[in-house]
Amino acid sequence: MNRASRIGILCVSVAIFCYAGIGHVLGRTPDDKAYKSLTVYGEVLQKVQQDYVDDPNMRTVTAGSLHGMLESLDAQSSYLTPREYDEYKKKLANTGTAETGLTLSKRYGYIIVLSVLPDGPGTKAGIRSGDIFESISGFTTRDMSVGQAMNLLSGQPGTAIKVGVIRRGKATPEEVDLVREKLATPKIITQKVDPDIMVLRIPSLDAGRADEIRNRLLDAEKQGIRKVILDVRECGRGQVPEAISTARLFVPTGILTTLRGQTVSAQVFSAEPKQVIWKNPVSVLIDATTSGAAEVLASAIAANHRGNVVGERTFGLASEQRLITLDDGAALILTVANYYNPGGKSIVEEGVVPTEVVHAIPEDDSDSTDEDAAPAPETQKEPGLGPRPLSPEDPIFHRALDLLKAPVKKAA
């Protein structure tokens, strides 16, 4: 690095320290923790520049430290360099930008697939929930945020991107080509499983979904359906307002969820009796592929004792992010608020605990013939992160069915 670049880096550091110092003096920081942290950061930066074995690229070092800082907060917070943010803006502004239909988070230090949109590029490429992306487009995900991964995976329709996938029970990544597509809103699948019981498989909670569910319920009641199962396994996309509106179709009274954050005014979302259109029994199916808005829906049903929530603990991803631009052209995707269940517990920290715990059928690895293969680190410890069984042997579905069919106990 030349002398001018070094001076530039040091000037930026000095500016940061001055800003922190002024904020400290003006009382913007009630204690000196932030000021001390910046002092330590500056000292480390100086030692790296002076004493590292080679002349380091300080821009890379600084970007890496910022990535690490954001990732230490939570999996969904990200730092985008000026170049990454410029690319992000262009893709966001382009209505023709395509994607892969995957919901991602970070686990074991790598990008992990939480859920896969039906009939999307991920499904067509054989990607399954629980798969670990060791690399995307040749870049290791060990040093990659979720925001960076999503940025890489989006692009022009019909173009392909290569990912290195570590599957359950495998030690080495398998290269897979994902072909980006312009995605349509996935359809709700309706299935009559008993003369008076219907299943609604909800793959997403996109805008307008609550109205669609409302219409499905009204039609079901006209057809003599008296009990409904909402299957939100593999549901990781959508908007929390749609989840709240859907919960209001079932829950007559009580708090549905609360949104809170350090700079976000607390918002309490309650049931609205006039919006209830389904007063008959309801059950919800969940597992670790359920995340985001779907968790808010399941939590509202469970906490208000409106119906059974059957399956496994959800992933824990119900939060709100805000895009914050920086003066140098970089940006932060920062989690600014979490959703809480009616009991006051953070869904991000606790997930949604089912009222009836049932474990899914473990993924069948009998087709694996790689004798040298070892299980991917700790993947077996994460229940539910396999493909949701669609067979008649699905234990979560059948337990919910049994509970709905069980005779109602009359009060003594």
Q: Is 334:70 a contact under the CB 8 Å cutoff?
A: yes
Number of H helices, E strands in the chain: 11, 17
Considering only CA atoms, which of 170, 141, 168 is closest in space to residue 153?
Answer: 141
The tokens 């109602």 sit on which residue?
Answer: 408
In 97-215, beta strands by DSSP E: 102-107, 110-116, 132-136, 139-140, 160-166, 174-179, 189-194, 197-201
d(CA 76, CA 65) in angstroms, rounded, equals 17
d(CA 114, CA 129) in angstroms, rounded, equals 5
Supply the pTM of this predicted model. 0.83
Q: Is 164:135 a contact under the CB 8 Å cutoff?
A: yes
Q: State pLDDT tens for residues 257-304.
A: 999 999 999 999 999 999 999 999 999 999 999 999 999 999 999 999
Q: State pLDDT tens for residues 332-389.
A: 999 999 999 999 999 999 999 999 999 986 554 434 434 343 333 333 333 333 344 4
Judging by beta carbons within 10 Å of its beta carbon (0-12, 13-18, 19+), is residue 350 exposed, middle or buried?
Answer: middle
pLDDT, average across residues 244-252: 98
Q: Is 295:44 a contact under the CB 8 Å cutoff?
A: no
pLDDT tier, 53 (very low <50, low <70, confident <90, very high otherwise): confident
pLDDT of the residue at 18:
45
pLDDT tier, 406 (very low <50, low <70, confident <90, very high otherwise): confident
| Amino acid (one-letter) located at 94 | N
**Cα dihedral 360, 361, 362, 368 in deg (nearest 10):** -150
Going by their DSSP bridges, the two strands 110-116 and 227-231 should be labelled as: unpaired
Say if residue 8's pLDDT is above 80: no
Rounded to 5 degrees, what are φ and ψ at 193? Answer: -110, -5
Task: Report the chain's mean pLDDT, rounded to a whole number.
Answer: 85
Say if residue 30's pLDDT is above 60: no
Tokens representing 60?
A: 């890379």
pLDDT of the residue at 34:
65
Helix or strand holding residue 399 (H, E):
helix 395-405
pLDDT of the residue at 409:
60
Show Cβ contacts of residue 232 under 8 Å, excluding neighbours closer than 6 positions.
202, 284, 285, 286, 290, 294, 297, 298
- Beta partners for residue 103, in sequence order: 115
Q: Is 204:233 a contact under the CB 8 Å cutoff?
A: no
d(CA 102, CA 99) in angstroms, rounded, equals 8
